[in-house]
Structure 1
């Protein structure tokens, strides 16, 4: 085993994770994880993937991948950059287009915009003509409609009209009251305030009560701690499993997500949008700070 492989294995065992758990978090086959621990890079399909696998393994067990690459350079194949150079050199440059074709391409956006304007004008003209023609035809077919309607209008001073106004006014008052209550209702605000490496801090405000919900859309490993470091949840979660916790009285919650693409976080039913792309940073540290505003007496 290489020094790097020993370091990775020790970090995994400290986390209490088996190779099967690590495979579920990183989506890397167990035999490749074993190869990384043993320094047996020959079985990994192409040296290009060695560095990527080491990075995912390190992040899943809480190690800084960049520091590992610097500290254990001798344990990582030096041909990684050579493979990248060969792939880049194998790309054939595109053939230059003839000058006449280049000019045509330059004029193409202008031509498309002009054609689009003409089409829009034509559509508007057709719609106007259709509406006007339909209105005139309707009047010609029903010349007595307006007159008939006026004959059967309810007089303004009739009891029926007064009752309708009273009921309508009550409904309007109720709608206005409901709208005022809705406007006074506090809205939840979730804001990312800091992001470094694989860690992001979110500030949450505007809610009297705060409910945390963590749902596994795939098999994942998570850890949830309160502001004092007390563990609220730690371990593997099956697909479809949900962890819920009222965190209204907590000033801060810390989450360690083993596989972000398979983990959904909600606050009061509102999905927390990852500041860091889960597909790029699969293992993330999430800090939620509850900035509940104190109401004046």
Structure 2
């Protein structure tokens, strides 16, 4: 086992994470994680993946990957030569086109012009058919007395009054629904979520403009998640399976701390509004999120 492997394993054990937990958090196969701890890079397909797996492993257990690369640069393979050789091998010499292909290219402009003429004729045909169809609809026979009588219902008939009452009730219900939606929209318009600081894999967000705050954490993919309140007490910690949701009213909390093991698979909402990750989840998969509740002071 190498010094780098020892450093990674010790950090994982300090976090209380098993290899299965780490596999779920990083989406890296367990056998590759074991290879990183043992320094057995030969079973990993390519030097590029060795560096990528070390970076994801380090961030998942709270280590700075850049510092690790600098400290153990002699032990970590360099992927530059592999990338250059792959790019050079993928370049193929250009071949001359056969004579038949060059003749086809010469005829291409003529074929395009012919196709354009056909399209124009088709458009004109469709327009003519539409105009003729509209004229035929206007020439329909007038309604018979029997069919006309269905529409000549007296305004004072019970049927008309009942329909009118139903229509009025529907209008009132629609207005009530619209008023409720407008109130909800006003509350969301006042809510502000702003990223104020970001360092490494940690980001701080300030939330203001709403008297009530509801936190929702949804796992779109399996991920390890930890949620702590302002006193450091754990509200949620462990693996969240795909489709699982955690909700908590955080109105009385001045600060909430979250640690997300696999950020691309976790969605965070406040009052139904999605929190946009300041750090790209595809690049920084393990992130620390701090949500600060900036309550507005009310005048006496």
TM-score normalised to structure 1 length: 0.73
CA–CA distance in structure 1, aligned partners of residues 151 and 6 of structure 2: 93
Q: Which of 247, 256, 260 is equivalent to 1:257?
A: 260
Give the match's secondary structure for 2:90.
Answer: coil
Aligned to 2:251: 248
Distance verdict in 2 for CA 1:176–1:3, change over 3 Å: same
Q: Find the aligned partners of 1:220 and 1:196 in 2 and give their Cα distance.
A: 22
CA RMSD of aligned residues (A): 4.2
Q: Does 1:26 align with 2:26?
A: yes
Q: Report how far residue 241 of structure 1 moved.
A: 4.0
Q: Give 2:11's aligned residue.
A: 11
State how 1:81-230 maps to structure 2 within 5 Å: 81-92=80-91, 95=94, 115=116, 119=119, 123=123, 128-144=127-143, 149=148, 153=152, 159=156, 167=165, 172=171, 175-176=174-175, 178-185=177-184, 186-188=186-188, 189=191, 191=193, 193-194=195-196, 195-205=198-208, 207-230=210-233
Contact in 2 for aligned 1:212/1:266 (Cα 8 Å): yes
Query: Aligned equivalents of 2:252 and 2:220: distance in 1?
Result: 28
Query: Do the aligned partners of 1:220 and 1:262 also contact (CA within 8 Å) in 2?
Result: yes
The answer to whether the aligner puts 1:279 opposite 2:282 as a matched pair is yes
SS state at 2:216 partner: strand
Residue 235 of structure 1: how far off its partner (Å)? 2.6
CA drift at 1:295: 6.5
Counterpart position of 2:51: 51
| Cα drift, residue 163 of structure 1 | 5.6
Checking the alignment, whether the CA contact within 8 Å between 2:195 and 2:278 is kept in structure 1 is no
CA–CA distance in structure 1, aligned partners of residues 96 and 205 of structure 2: 50
Contact 1:192-1:275 within 8 A present in 2 as well: no
Flag structure 1 segments of 5+ consecutive residues without an equivalent: none
Task: Report if aligned partners of 1:222, 1:255 keep a CA contact under 8 Å in 2.
Answer: yes
Q: Is the 1:190–1:272 Cα contact (8 Å) retained in structure 2?
A: no
Query: In the alignment, does 2:39 pair up with 1:36?
Result: no
Q: CA deviation at 1:38?
A: 2.8
Distance 1:176 1:241 in 2: 35
Instruction: Output the CA distance in 2 between the equivalents of 1:96 and 1:192.
Output: 56
- How much does 1:54 deviate? 0.8
Unaligned runs of 5+ in 2: none
Distance 1:13 1:150 in 2: 85
Task: Return closer, same or farther for 1:271/1:80 CA change in 2, 3 Å cut-off.
Answer: same
2:240 to 237, 253, 266: 237
Deviates more, 1:235-244 or 1:45-54: 235-244
Asked if the contact 1:35–1:43 (Cα under 8 Å) also holds between the matched residues in 2, the reply is yes
Question: 1:56 Cα deviation (Å)?
Answer: 0.9
The worse-fitting range, judged by mean Cα deviation, of 1-10 and 58-67 is: 1-10
> What are the superposed Cα offsets for residues 276-296 of structure 1, whole Å, 9 maximum, x if unpaired?
443332212223333555677
